[in-house]
Each structure stands twice: as structure tokens, then as C-alpha cells.
């Protein structure tokens, strides 16, 4: 269990800190093309939706029954909805040009800080997702962490670009993006602290079903709309389908191995 715990925490940290990749893109590299972002966001959504229904919810129902499994699933969705209503955040990564006045720069910096705060809070349950998945099955945890890492890259870009445009400081842009991603391993750490002493098949089933709800909400509320916002609707859906197919094939290969 100690080894699994370490792996689960490590996967959460890797997934969360992938925001730094987006940060580097925002401050050193040209903005990634809209087609690339459309496909990768759709791909991430497809992976998360399929693994939520096929593995997470299914395991929850198996462990705690049909009614309570679905109750936990919709409870996870409700939690994310509440967080989203109370602390909304802009997900779509935009490249900002430096303003000519102090007021423009102040607005840009404030926007970047608010996005960082919002993303940080939204990342807490994502850390729980990677952690809980890895505790149940290392390969499942890896799949969840990869999906989360993919969609964290444009989040890092959304934080770093306005802060860099406002301050001209690559260091500030990088560190605020980094801190927004740290929330993910913090979420995993909180889960480890409070869940491990009471770990049981019922608790794991409940958490996994709830995590499935969290990930489905993130996919349909954030990832798919963000992917389609770039104007390539069909490419976004192709990304979703390919993400689902690849995730399905990987799960199938794991089961027959």
C-alpha cells in the first residue's frame, strides 16, 4: 500500500504540474495553433468521459450498489457545479498583448491572478481523481493523470500569458502558473490524509464513482466547449471520439494482458 500511495501522489503531482508546460508555451513560444488545441482538448474529454463511465462509475456500482454508485456519481457532478458557480474561471487560453497604459496592465495582471486562483481551486478535485484512480489500479491512475495533464497545458497558458503581458516578468508568469498546478497534488495529499485511515472497498467505490462525476462534469462543462470555441466543431468531436477509442483499446489490452 505504501508503494501504491507514493505512485498515486506522484501521478497527481505530474498531472497538476503539467500547467508549467502551458506556462512555458505562454512566455517563450508562440501560441499553439487553434487546431492543435481543439483536438487535444477534445481528446482529453474523450479519455475522461470513457474512463469515467467504463471504469470509475462501473467500479463504484460494483462496490456499493447501483443506487449509491449513481448517487455518488451525481454528487461528484454537483460538487463541481457548486465550485464552478461560486468560483468561475476562464478556461480558454488566450494570448494577450501588453497594454499601453498602467490600467491595461493592471487589468491583465488581475485577470491572470483570478484565472490562477480559479484553476487552482478547480484542480483540487482533479488531484483527488488521479489519486483515487491510482489507488484502485495503477494503470487506471496513469490514464486519468495523462488526461488531466493534457488539459492542464492550456490552463497554464491561460494563467501565464496575461501575467507576462502585464508585468513583462517571465519569472512571475511561470510561478503563478506553477502554483495553480500545485493545487492538484495538494488535493491528492488531502485525500491521502483523510481517506487512508478509513480505506475500505465501500469508501474506494464511493470515491471512484464521485470522481467519475467530477471528470464528466469537467469534460462537458469545460473541455468540449473550450475545444469547440476555436471554431473547429468537427475536429473537436473527432478528438473526443479518438480519445475514447484509444482509452477503450488501452483498457481492453490491460484486461486481456
CB burial of residue 123 (10 Å; 0-12, 13-18, 19+) = buried
Closest CA to 188 of 136, 140, 133, 127: 127
What is the average pLDDT across 127-154?
A: 77
- Whether the per-residue pLDDT at 98 is higher than 50: the answer is no
Rounded CA-CA distance 155/169 in Å is 19
pLDDT on residue 75: 96
- Whether the per-residue pLDDT at 162 is higher than 80: the answer is no
Quick one: DSSP state of residue 198?
G
- Higher-confidence residue of 157 and 233: namely 233
pLDDT on residue 47: 81
pLDDT tens-digit map of 178-226: 887 887 788 788 777 877 777 677 887 888 898 889 889 888 887 788 7
pLDDT tens-digit map of 245-256: 987 887 787 566
pLDDT tens-digit map of 34-49: 887 788 778 878 888 9
Rounded CA-CA distance 66/42 in Å is 29
Asked if 174 and 27 count as a contact pair (C-beta separation under 8 A), the reply is yes
Helix ranges (DSSP H) in the chain: 2-17, 19-28, 34-51, 58-64, 66-86, 102-136, 138-167, 170-195, 201-218, 224-228, 233-256
Rounded CA-CA distance 133/204 in Å is 9
Give the model's confidence band at 234: pLDDT under 50 very low, under 70 low, under 90 confident, else very high. very high
What is the average pLDDT across 140-147?
A: 78
Count CB atoms within 10 A of the CB of residue 131: 32
Give the model's confidence band at 150: pLDDT under 50 very low, under 70 low, under 90 confident, else very high. confident
Amino acid at each position: 500500500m505504501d508503494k501504491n500511495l507514493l505512485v498515486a501522489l506522484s501521478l497527481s503531482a505530474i498531472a497538476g504540474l503539467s500547467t508549467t508546460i502551458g506556462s512555458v508555451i505562454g512566455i517563450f513560444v508562440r501560441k499553439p495553433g487553434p487546431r492543435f488545441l481543439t483536438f487535444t482538448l477534445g481528446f482529453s474529454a474523450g479519455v475522461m468521459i470513457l474512463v469515467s463511465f467504463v471504469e470509475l462509475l462501473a467500479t463504484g456500482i460494483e462496490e456499493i450498489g447501483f443506487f449509491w454508485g449513481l448517487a455518488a456519481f451525481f454528487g461528484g457532478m454537483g460538487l463541481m457545479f457548486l465550485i464552478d458557480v461560486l468560483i468561475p474561471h476562464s478556461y480558454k487560453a488566450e494570448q494577450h498583448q501588453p497594454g499601453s497604459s498602467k490600467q491595461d496592465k493592471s487589468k491583465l495582471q488581475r485577470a491572470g491572478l483570478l484565472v490562477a486562483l480559479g484553476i487552482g481551486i478547480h484542480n483540487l478535485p482533479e488531484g483527488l481523481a488521479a489519486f483515487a484512480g491510482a489507488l484502485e489500479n495503477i494503470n487506471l491512475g496513469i490514464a486519468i493523470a495523462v488526461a488531466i495533464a493534457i488539459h492542464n497545458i492550456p490552463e497554464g497558458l491561460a494563467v501565464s500569458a496575461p501575467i507576462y503581458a502585464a508585468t513583462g516578468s517571465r519569472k512571475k508568469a511561470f510561478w503563478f502558473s506553477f502554483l495553480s498546478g500545485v493545487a492538484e497534488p495538494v488535493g491528492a495529499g488531502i485525500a491521502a490524509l483523510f481517506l487512508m485511515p478509513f480505506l475500505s472497498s465501500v469508501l474506494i467505490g464511493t470515491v471512484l464513482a464521485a470522481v467519475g462525476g467530477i471528470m464528466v462534469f469537467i469534460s462537458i462543462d469545460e473541455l468540449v466547449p473550450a475545444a469547440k470555441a476555436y471554431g473547429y466543431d468537427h475536429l473537436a468531436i473527432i478528438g473526443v471520439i479518438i480519445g475514447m477509442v484509444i482509452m477503450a483499446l488501452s483498457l481492453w489490452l490491460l484486461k486481456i494482458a
